A and B are shown apart, each in its own frame.
Chain A
């Protein structure tokens, strides 16, 4: 199998499964963690990711799951074209991340790691997919939804600084268009960012 990327949380391989192109997401053991913690995290996150991907499928495109093991998920290969690379030329594309996040929140799912590397364009179905549910959870708390929005803001500041204003506005437009309580959640985001360490003048735009 071919290693595609080595993340912090898992290694991603490209391979085949029952005659189909497949992605193997492997949560390898971390040599620096004590085994109790390492095993707990790998098991918990693998199971959680598989469950949440299934739950999310009712409202957003996520890859089809072929197999779930102890610390491995084999899933449909939806491609390599990431939203991350598209935003520079077309900041308004950020809208799709907003829509998907809003739809997830509407059914009580916090993504936990929403960023532009986790939104992938599938050429054959002509649709964007959202992936990487290892840190996600079922919740009804506005605080959790607001944390997702805060994380997007942080990622945009760091990775899409040149197009930040337009991209983040597009994201919020998409988010508000499908989220019933968007206004209240956005208020909560401001509260989180005020609470952050010395966050007084953080550049959160509205």
Chain B
């Protein structure tokens, strides 16, 4: 602190000198200060990254997980008369245990001939609302904004920018009619 052997002329105001000295004792040298700033920011960054990876992964999980598809039985050949259209219900490919009924999906299945089936997504290509098959009119109609489709799924009227999406259907050797599950069809800004 205030050294007694300093010449009197070099020791101005003892009190101020003491405070200065105290401040100087606590002041960091420039390189040391720079290092400590970098250390604290850098270490915080590493810590944030270490926590951020699992957190971001949880947020982005739906994009990181594989999206399986699977064949689901929706009936047998005898359930569907040629020319008839049915609403079939099936379970999505990989439901979690706590899904309840929300992992169900539906499709409009029509038997075109002995061996040929067509299955349409129930989701309107406009905003995804559930379209209804009107048997007598021979049209699919959407309750939300009045989108209408012909029986081949092409747009007949209203706002849908594209036709109804189709599911793949196969008839197994034991006459089971099977449907390949698929994502909810999402209409993009550039219709495909």
**B and A form one assembly:** no
Give me the interface of B with A, judged by CB distance under 8 Å. Answer: none
